[in-house]
């Protein structure tokens, strides 16, 4: 829930030995393919769909949306933890355009460039087979050198409260992910963005249909509610933040951050 868009050209492989860089042709394709447990969970392209959906609540504007250049430039950092067990970090360079449709029927646009990062622990006992996803992190999507920040996200539902403070901390898959009941109401609180930031909660209604909603500024955090999808499955939700100047100042550079979290609906 820090991917809006989720990062490097070329392939880098570090396997088992310190400071050793393998040539490009030695990259193990089974470790850089989607894991057999959840083919789309470790895929920045799915994050792009979440971050591109139009957002239609805001002062002075009718809608905000992104058009992202695909496919992303992906690269990998692979560290062998033990025989058959690998820590895989996937990076992406994310480029595109942010569009804002204003109340006066004009549309402004701004180039964007973000870095996306996600980590996973992958088991692959033997070569020639796809990896099995053991642990996975949220996706972190951020502007290089940007000022807008996310420091804490709290998710409260029937299970209690889940706290996210490090989006790249891995959780056991799928047991350690956030688990929700179908259709239940969920409250989200977000710390870090300034009070004038545009803070969006991006969640799926079903499958690939997303309906972003606004989080309202409170005393020192933002808050909003949503309902989990009605059908069981593995989904993802994003807290997506744009600085005030990114939206309202035409000459200001793009500055945004998003945390994209996987979760389970039972």
Q: Worst-scoring range by mean pLDDT, 87-91, 123-127, 221-225, 227-231?
A: 123-127
Domains in the chain: boundaries: 24-265
Work out the burial of residue 34: count CB atoms within 10 Å of its CB; fewer than 13 is exposed, 13-18 middle, 19 or more buried.
middle
* pLDDT digit string, tens, across residues 185-241: 999 999 999 999 999 988 875 444 445 567 888 888 999 888 998 889 888 899 999
- What element of type H or E holds 225? strand 222-227
* Polymer length of the chain: 266
pLDDT of residue 14: 22
State the Cα angle at 176 between 226 and 125, rounded to 5°.
135
* pLDDT digit string, tens, across residues 145-177: 889 999 999 999 999 999 999 999 999 999 999
* Rounded average pLDDT over 57-79: 83
pTM of the full predicted structure? Answer: 0.83
* 190 vs 199: CA distance, rounded Å: 9
Nearest-CA neighbor of 117 among 148, 66, 151, 74?
A: 74
């Amino acid at each position: 829930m820090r991917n809006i868009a989720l990062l490097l050209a070329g392939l880098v492989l570090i396997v088992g030995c310190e400071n050793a860089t393998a040539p490009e042709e030695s990259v193990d394709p089974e470790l850089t393919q989607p894991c057999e447990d959840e083919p789309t969970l470790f895929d920045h392209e799915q994050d792009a769909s979440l971050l591109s959906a139009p957002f239609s609540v805001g002062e002075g504007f009718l809608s905000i949306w992104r058009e992202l250049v695909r496919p992303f430039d992906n690269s990998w950092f692979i560290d062998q933890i033990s025989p058959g067990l690998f820590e895989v970090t996937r990076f992406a360079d994310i480029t595109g355009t942010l569009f804002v449709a204003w109340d006066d029927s004009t549309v402004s646009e701004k180039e964007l460039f973000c870095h996306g990062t996600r980590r996973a622990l992958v088991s692959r006992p033997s070569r020639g087979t796809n990896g099995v996803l053991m642990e996975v992190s949220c996706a972190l999507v951020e502007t290089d050198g940007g000022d807008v920040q996310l420091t804490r996200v709290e998710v409260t539902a029937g299970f209690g409260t889940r706290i996210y403070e490090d989006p790249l901390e891995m959780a056991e898959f799928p047991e350690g992910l956030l688990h929700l009941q179908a259709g239940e109401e969920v409250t989200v609180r977000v710390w870090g963005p300034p009070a004038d930031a545009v803070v969006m909660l991006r969640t799926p209604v079903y499958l690939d249909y997303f309906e972003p909603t606004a989080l309202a500024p409170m005393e020192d955090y933002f808050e909003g509610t949503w309902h989990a999808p009605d059908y069981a499955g593995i989904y993802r939700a994003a807290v997506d933040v744009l600085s005030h100047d990114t939206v309202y100042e035409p000459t200001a550079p793009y500055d945004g951050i998003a945390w994209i979290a996987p979760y389970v609906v039972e």
